[in-house]
Every structure is written in C-alpha cells, then in structure tokens.
Amino acid sequence: MIAVRPGPPLTGIVTVDGSKNAAFPLLAAAAALGRPVRLGNVPANTDVQIMLALLQQAGWHVAQPVGEPSTAVILPTESRCTVPVLAQAAQIRASYYLVPALLARHGEARLPWPGGCRIGARGMELHFKVYQAFGDRTTVNDSGYRVEAVAADTATVSLILPFRSRGATVAAVLRAVTAGRTLRLGEPNLSPEVLCVLDALSAVGWEARTSEHLLTLSPPSSESADAVWAVPGDKVEAGTLACAVAATGGDARIEGVRSKDMGPLVGALRRLGIPVSSETEALAIRAQDARMTGRPLRAIASLSPGGLDADFEPPLMALALGLPGNHLFADAINPGRHGNLLPQLARLGADIEEISRTECRLTGPQRLTGTGVEAADIRTGSALMVAGLTARGVTTLGGLDQLRRGHADLPGKLRALGADICEVTP
C-alpha cells in the first residue's frame, strides 16, 4: 500500500505515459492488419502487458527493439497453430478487441467473458450484432463466447449502433479490416481512442471519413507505407495529475498529452476558476492563481463527441470536495463505479448525497481526514490519491495492483511534482 500526506502545492514538469485505453485497440489493429507494425509509446501497465502476452499466445510475434522499452513490433507468423483458448483474456476488458484478428488468423475466436474493473456489466450483445452484420456466427455459454467466420462476402457492411459504444465501434472497424470490406457505421463512438485507430489505418492506405452520425471506412486501393504508429499520451493520467495539482493549489506543466483530447477536462477546471493553458502536446495548470468561482460543476459522463470521458469523473469529484459550489456527478456508462468510490471517500469524511446508483451531488468545500482506504478499481485508486493530498493526517491506500493495471507508476509521477507519497508495508 502507499501512504499519502498533505504537503506543499505540487509544482514542476511531468510527462504522462502512453494511454492504456488507446493502446488496446491499436495493438488489436496491428494484429488485424496482417503485416509488421511498429508501435511506439506503449505503456508498461499490467493490463497492456497482458494484452501483449495474449497476442503471443495467439500466434503473433511481439518484439521489443533494443534500447526502446516503450516500443513493440507486432509481426504475423507463418505457422497456424490450433485455435487458442486464451484464459488470461478474462483478466482484462479489452480482450474482446482481439476477435477480428483471431477470425482472420484461425477462422474463429474463443474467448472467456471479459474482466477488468468491477464497474458494471460487460455486455457483449452489441459486439455480436456487429459480427453478425459481417456474416459471422456467435455462440455463448457460461464461461465465454465463440465467434466463427462463415460468410466470405465483399459487399459493403452497413449498420447503426443503438448507442455510441467504443468497443462495438472498434470491433466494426477491425472486422472491416480483416474482411477487406467497406464499412458504413451509423452513430459511431468518435472518442480519441477510436480516432487514433482510424488515423493509424489511414496512414497505411485505408480511407476513413467521419461525421457526427456516420463513420465510413474503405479498403486501400494500392500498396501503402510501412506501418509505424504511436500510442497517444494518456489523457486520463494527465487529467488525474491536473486535478491533483489543482487540489493542492500548485503550478505544474503536464507534457506528452494532446490538448485536443483534454477539452472537456480543461473546460471543467476553468469553470471551477482554475487557470489552464493548452499547447499541442502539453497542459499548464496554474492553480496558485485560481479564483474560486463557486459555480456548480456538472461532471456528467457522455459517449457523445466532445463529451466528458467517464474516466475523468472520479478525479474531478475528489477535486470538487475542496472547492466551493454545489456539484453534480453522473456516470451511467459504468454503473458500478460510484458504488466503489463513494464509500471510500466517505471513509475520509466526505459528505456526498447519492441521488441514484449513477448520480450524486456534493457541496464544497469539505475537510477530509486521512484513514485507510482501498482502490477497488483503477479510477477509484487515482481519485483517492488526489483526495489524500488534501486530507489532514495520513491516508493509506491499498489495492495498488488495481492502480497498476492502468498506470505503470502514477505515485511516482506525483512524487516528481513534490507529493508526499511513499510505499509502506501493510
């Protein structure tokens, strides 16, 4: 576990790792492409390491160039092993991204139900509708699911998603790649994690076009350049660090993240009166010059283009506890997350009113007191660290294995900004 103590305002410069949420679909796209792909800025968190291991178990060769610890080269191999049963896939949610590549390589995919953070149901029904639109056949049982490639068609695939699912959007895009077919997808998810996959495919000849309500993807018309891609900086890690700097009244620069991915978080901070300036690949937080507005913050997670990513909500909640205003928070995307986070914040003394299972409100500022808390999922752990930086006394945070699933060393980055955080023996 780690111990967190309040201290001076956080200051300095820190660089975020690559994004876990973007690395998953890019690794799956590399496997689906069927050619060598060099992927840079791959984060070293445990979930991504599991994804790399799954690729190797499924028949791809994953190489790490000498002297480039954050680069992975994904190589297709000639051998066709039997259809793998990837038991380790049950440990991460994003294992479902591998289905298109497995269909292309083995003609079928057998996977356990996805795991990961316990923040709500991991429904796969919409994924199965995507594969059925391509002519694939799906079967399920208590332990997992099987997708079998049946049709060998070349016609355009057209479907409309009932809601803007990131997982289903990526599934449709990667299945179009492995099938070599044109895709017309209505109501797609257009989050930065999806757009970075489309940018990567465009770099190797695929033609991708997006509007608010339609995504189209067409196969290359000719040979394309080498596939050299990079994982974008982790916007959620950057947002967590920004909230920590703001909570302590600090002045810091966060590098390695695209400012265009941070718009909703920056807007929320500015509404609270915290000065933030954006550059192409950096954010500057000048909370020492903050003028508390007392304006209410409405942090409502959304799948719409330009909406607030649900993973920004927990650190914003931890920040808002110390700021004036009557603040509202909602996350209907991950209905179990509040059930993890709110009881832990209450242990620190937070007074938060639960309106429903997915909505809550709080009035700040509140004074927190350090005690023992537990990270039940990745974002709960990061939010509790932000809260611990302002709580009186010592906050001890357990469940570091959860935190490391999404961040290779978030406590180390906070220490680099001057946070009083150390690892302790339970």
What CATH number does residue 312 fall under? 3.65.10.10
Structure confidence at residue 121 (pLDDT)? 63
C-alpha distances (whole Å) from 385 to each of 297, 310, 323, 336, 390 are 21, 18, 17, 20, 9
Structure confidence at residue 224 (pLDDT)? 73
Domain that holds residue 73: 20-230
User: Rounded CA gap, 113 and 92, in Å?
Assistant: 9
Residues 186, 106 share a domain: yes
Residues 263, 123 share a domain: no
Residues 184, 330 share a domain: no
Residues 241, 225 share a domain: no
User: Rounded CA gap, 288 and 239, in Å?
Assistant: 18
3-state secondary structure of 79: coil
| End residue of a domain, out of 206, 230, 254 | 230
How do beta strands 214-218 and 183-186 pair? antiparallel
DSSP symbols for 363-426: EE----B--EEE-SSHHHHHHHHHHHTTSBS-EEEE-HHHHHHH-S-HHHHHHHTT-EEEE---
| End residue of a domain, out of 181, 200, 230 | 230
Hey, what amino acid is at 154?
T
Structure confidence at residue 301 (pLDDT)? 95
Structure confidence at residue 99 (pLDDT)? 96
Residues 226, 259 share a domain: no
User: Helix crossing, 263-271 with 235-247: angle to 10°?
Assistant: 10
Structure confidence at residue 81 (pLDDT)? 63
| End residue of a domain, out of 195, 210, 230 | 230
333: closest CA among 171, 117, 44?
A: 117
> For the chain, what is the domain count?
2
C-alpha distances (whole Å) from 77 to each of 42, 71, 175 are 21, 19, 20
Residues 26, 12 share a domain: no
Structure confidence at residue 378 (pLDDT)? 94
Residues 342, 399 share a domain: yes
What's the distance, CA 120 to chain centroid?
15
Scan for tokens 């800025």, then name that residue: 41
3-state secondary structure of 227: strand
User: Rounded CA gap, 213 and 164, in Å?
Assistant: 10
Q: Which regions in the chain score pLDDT beneath 50?
A: none
Residues 62, 28 share a domain: yes
Structure confidence at residue 79 (pLDDT)? 63
C-alpha distances (whole Å) from 38 to each of 31, 171, 228 are 11, 21, 5
Torsion of CA 335, 54, 173, 128, to 10 degrees: -60
**What are phi and psi for residue 55, nearest 5 degrees?**
-60, -45
Structure confidence at residue 196 (pLDDT)? 96
Structure confidence at residue 248 (pLDDT)? 97
Residue 67 neighbours by CB under 8 Å, 6+ apart: none
Q: Is 132 exposed, middle or buried (0-12, 13-18, 19+ CB in 10 A)?
A: middle
Residues 244, 145 share a domain: no
How do beta strands 214-218 and 207-210 pair? antiparallel
Residues 266, 124 share a domain: no
Residues 182, 278 share a domain: no
Structure confidence at residue 119 (pLDDT)? 60
User: Helix crossing, 235-247 with 378-388: angle to 10°?
Assistant: 20
Residues 289, 178 share a domain: no
Structure confidence at residue 120 (pLDDT)? 61
12 within 8 A of 413, measured Cβ to Cβ: no
